[in-house]
Each structure stands twice: as structure tokens, then as C-alpha cells.
């Protein structure tokens, strides 16, 4: 069946089957492989994408559920001219990734956090990000990256 939605700021029209997940449509049909798949049971957060600004597990969300909605994947975060989003830059500056597999999902979850709460405390960060697992970094550098990005972000009004 037809599926129309906004993807990384642009309207997109594609076909999908009823049982296809958003992760499958993004990776296999639309060739956006930045969204990674790990646990497939909504536990690890690796496949996190933003739908209407909120983090979802793309591996368990049916693709059909995003019809007419706004989807943001890791590929849509940097500006069209290539300038990195402050969170992406902060992750690089704080060495907040090693193997990088959890990173796209981690960055998008962090974006959702900072959009909702531009100046989070460490406890806020830990609480919000608890749905994303990282096996490499021991989490400390990720917290530092989010704090660093928060310092740079001007106070935004709530969406």
C-alpha cells in the first residue's frame, strides 16, 4: 500500500506492506542505512528515530503508522550544506562513541531530550536516555556530549 510522509524535511511517497516496520522501510526500501537494528524488541534504542519530534523504536513501529507524519532519521540531522548539528559535533568532541552502532539512535534520543528540556541536569539526562544502550563507552562520554551540546543551545520554546 501507498505510504506518504515527511522524511527529513521532504515529502516522500513509497510503497510498503502492512506488516513492514519503519526500520525495514527506511533501510531496505529507501536505502537510508543510518538507522541500525539490534535487539528488535524495543529494548536497546539503537533504531531510535524521531516521529513528530518524539523518539520511537523503528524496529517495532509499523511503517504505516508514520503516514502523514514527520520523520527524522540520522541522515536528516546535519544541515543541507553539511554543517553538523551541535549534538553531532558534541559527540565528536567528547569521544562519545566508539564502534558507532548505537550512535545514530543515541544522537536522535539526545535531540528529543534537548528539544524538550534545553538545560537538563545530569539526572535528567540519565533518566531520559535510559532507553538507549551503549556497550562501548560506559555512558560517561555520552553524558558529557549532551551537556556540551546543551551549553551551546539557546533556550528554545517548547514545541
Among 53, 54, 84, 151, binds other proteins (CB under 8 A): 84
141 touches other proteins (CB under 8 A): yes
Sequence-separated (6 or more) residues with CB below 8 Å from residue 75 = 8, 32, 34
12 touches other proteins (CB under 8 A): no
Q: In 3D, which of 82, 80, 63 has the Cα closest to residue 8? A: 80
Question: Integer distance in angstroms from the first to the last C-alpha of the chain?
Answer: 31
Among 104, 111, 112, 114, binds other proteins (CB under 8 A): 104
Residues 30-49 that bind other proteins (CB under 8 A): 31-41, 43-44, 46
Q: Is 113 helix (H, G, I), strand (E, B) or coil?
A: helix
Question: E strands along the chain, which residues?
Answer: 2-7, 10-15, 48-51, 54-57, 70-72
Stretch that binds other proteins, among 50-58, 62-70, 136-144, 147-155 (CB under 8 A): 136-144
153 touches other proteins (CB under 8 A): no
User: What residues make contact with other proteins under the rule CB under 8 A?
Assistant: 27, 31-41, 43-44, 46, 73-75, 77-78, 84, 88, 91-92, 95, 97-104, 107, 125-127, 129-130, 132-143
Amino acid at each position: 500500500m501507498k505510504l506518504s510522509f515527511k522524511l527529513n524535511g521532504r515529502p516522500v511517497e513509497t510503497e510498503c506492506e502492512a506488516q513492514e516496520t519503519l526500520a525495514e522501510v527506511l533501510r531496505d526500501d529507501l536505502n537510508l542505512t543510518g538507522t541500525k537494528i539490534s535487539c528488535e524488541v524495543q529494548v536497546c534504542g539503537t533504531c531510535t528515530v524521531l516521529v513528530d519530534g518524539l523518539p520511537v523504536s523503528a524496529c517495532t513501529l509499523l511503517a504505516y503508522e508514520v503516514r502523514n507524519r514527520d520523520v527524522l532519521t540520522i541522515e536528516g540531522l546535519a544541515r543541507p550544506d553539511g554543517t553538523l548539528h551541535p549534538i553531532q559535533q558534541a559527540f565528536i568532541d567528547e569521544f562519545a562513541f566508539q564502534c558507532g552502532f548505537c550512535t545514530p539512535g543515541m544522537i536522535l534520543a539526545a535531540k528529543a531530550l534537548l528539544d524538550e528540556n534545553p538545560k537538563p541536569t545530569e539526572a535528567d539526562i540519565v533518566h531520559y536516555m535510559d532507553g538507549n544502550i551503549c556497550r562501548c563507552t560506559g555512558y560517561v562520554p555520552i553524558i558529557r556530549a549532551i551537556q556540551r551540546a546543551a551549553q551551546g543551545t539557546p533556550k528554545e520554546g517548547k514545541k
